[in-house]
Amino acid sequence: MAIESNTVYFNSPGAENTGETLRLAKARAEELGIKRIVVASTTGDIGVKAAEEFKDYKVVVVSHATGFKAPGTQELTAENKARIEKLGAEIFTGAHAFGGVAHAVRKTFGTHVLGDFMANTLRMFGQGIKVTIEISLMAADAGLISPDEEVIAIAGTARGADTAIVVKPAHAHDAFSLRVKEIICKPRL
């Protein structure tokens, strides 16, 4: 038996694709009966939009770690955090699966580390693909999604959402068990 599904390729990356990305992801979630959505959101704008779009789903919003941009700062705004939580979505804030302590090694010793190689290899498919896989690992490690069921992961190239995949997640220590089942949409870079 074969499954036929369309992949949408956007002519350019960016926030202008957010509405269509969320619409496509929701349509595919309905078709496959997937009830868990993982979405990357730096300031929380996309997290709010996803929580609104996926009201009857379990939504996990993954934000940057505190201190990612500057020591002691959190890019997820307090207003968006409150809105996301009021809409019933969960928020995970933590170290990047491909970064964390490895970023300190790179910064201190000026050398690349394993996470850099993994991240850059995935970027060959697009920044959004790299981020969807990374947030799936992070959410699984936090216990917010299960490696036993498929989820839809949504991310973007810079701002906004322009990439969505169907993924069977894994924990970071078992990252090579993660499986990208389908690419719903992405920029055609």
Structural domains of the chain, with CATH: 8-66+89-187 (3.40.1380.20)
How high is the pLDDT of residue 73?
87
For 166-178, what is the mean pLDDT? 96
Residue 188 reports pLDDT greater than 90: yes
Reported pTM: 0.93
Please enumerate, as own/partner, the contacts of 69-77 that have beta carbons within 8 Å and a separation of 24 or more: 75/42, 75/43, 76/41, 76/42, 76/43, 76/44, 76/47, 77/43, 77/44
